[in-house]
Amino acid sequence: MATPSNKNLRTEVRSAAFEQVREAHQTETAEDYVEMIADLIAEKGEARVVDLASAFGVTHATVNKTIARLNKEGFVTNEKYRSLFLTPKGQKMAEACKSRHEIVVGFLKSIGVSARTAELDAEGVEHHISPETLKAFAAFAKKKK
Amino acid sequence: MATPSNKNLRTEVRSAAFEQVREAHQTETAEDYVEMIADLIAEKGEARVVDLASAFGVTHATVNKTIARLNKEGFVTNEKYRSLFLTPKGQKMAEACKSRHEIVVGFLKSIGVSARTAELDAEGVEHHISPETLKAFAAFAKKKK
DNA sequence: AACCAATTGTAGCCTTGGCTAAGTTTTTTG
DNA sequence: CAAAAAACTTAGCCAAGGCTACAATTGGTT
């Protein structure tokens, strides 16, 4: 299949695409939480359950359950009734996410999307951007500037 | 707050963004299924459970459960052991999704992303694109052509 | 017509990520 | 410093979307 038609390409790639989406969904929450924890520590000196709940718009019970999972998976450390910290693994992930987020927001603005919408859409879009596309975004936004 | 700083904007918009993502996740499956059913009917004359399972890379049991939900929600009609059909509501949704999908793929290609990656990423990205951003994508791809 | 393979359906399990409600611990404040 | 408020934990519920295993139906072949 040296030069597949668009239709064949689409068919061929289909199930891989859906699998990629399912994988992204599994890391999405972890990414959002570590990034938010890093932001909160940077902005306010500490990250508390109540801050995360308010930032995500969910209840503190939900935050608690998620934190337990992130702890188990080695992204977060926490002592009972105390504020949250990132492990080195969590910090690394947070940095990558922050950078990716900024690239996506900057790119959307550079093609004329409003700042508000850029923020809103970036939050959903960023988890589904491959390295190749991210590179294209960064290159375009840079050229545009 | 007439001219909010970037930081304030981000904070202000945050929880709305996450809520938007959660909403998108709730419609995502419905959108993928109706679009796939429409494609299958167009390509092969009918849409069967087994085709959907293979296209999405999941088991037929999973497809079955999802179809039951889509039926309950009025997107799909099905008789036992027969192929699947879209309701008018489902057809309308399928058309909107197909169009949006094509815009996203075309746009990604227009900024230099390979056809394969464009397809892969579009599948995840398309559910998180607001009308404003979609418009910007379409305008850019058109200008580029 | 009967059998076999493929397809479809059903039951039951798991994880994630929501929620409410009730109980603890910490912190603030009168 | 004791009481009230705030923050946190825990338990238990729900729906979605995965899965395996088994049951039922359909459709082709012989």
Whether residue B128 and residue A129 make contact (CB cut-off 8 A), yes or no, is no
Instruction: Report the alpha-carbon distance of residue A24 to residue A10 in Å, rounded.
Output: 20
pLDDT digits (tens, 9 = 90+) for B104-142: 999 999 999 999 999 999 999 999 999 999 999 999 988
Which residues touch A24 (CB under 8 Å, ≥6 apart)?
A127, A128, B124
Answer whether residue A130 is part of any domain: yes
**pLDDT attached to residue B13:** 82
Residue B111 belongs to what domain range?
17-144
pLDDT reading at B6 higher than 80: no
Answer whether residue A106 is part of any domain: yes
Answer whether residue B12 is part of any domain: no
**pLDDT attached to residue B142:** 85
User: What DSSP character marks residue B138?
Assistant: H
Answer whether residue B7 is part of any domain: no
Instruction: Report the alpha-carbon distance of residue B53 to residue B64 in Å, rounded.
Output: 9
- Picking from B119, B122, B136, the nearest residue to A111 by CB comes out as B136
pLDDT band at A4 (very low <50, low <70, confident <90, very high): very low
**pLDDT attached to residue A11:** 65
Answer whether residue B92 is part of any domain: yes
- Contact status, residue A123 vs residue B18, Cβ threshold 8 Å: yes
| Contacts A25 to B, Cβ<8 Å | 25
Answer whether residue A4 is part of any domain: no
Q: How many domains does chain B have?
A: 1
CA–C1' distance B58–D14 (Å)?
A: 24
pLDDT band at A3 (very low <50, low <70, confident <90, very high): very low
Whether residue A133 and residue B116 make contact (CB cut-off 8 A), yes or no, is no
Q: Is the dihedral of CA B93, B95, B98, B103 positive or negative?
A: negative
CATH of the domain at B77: 1.10.10.10
Which residues touch A80 (CB under 8 Å, ≥6 apart)?
none
Q: Is B41 on the interface with A (CB under 8 A)?
A: no
pLDDT digits (tens, 9 = 90+) for A113-123: 999 999 999 99
Q: Is B131 on the interface with A (CB under 8 A)?
A: no
ipTM exceeds 0.85, yes or no: yes
DSSP string, A105-126: HHHHHHTT--HHHHHHHHHHHG
Instruction: Report, as an integer, the average pLDDT of B26-48.
Output: 97
Instruction: Report the alpha-carbon distance of residue A132 to residue A108 in Å, rounded.
Output: 16
Which bases of strand C sit closer than 7 A to a protein CB? 6-12, 16-22, 25-26
Instruction: Report the alpha-carbon distance of residue A63 to residue A76 in Å, rounded.
Output: 13
pLDDT digits (tens, 9 = 90+) for A84-94: 999 999 999 99
| Contacts A13 to B, Cβ<8 Å | 116, 119-120
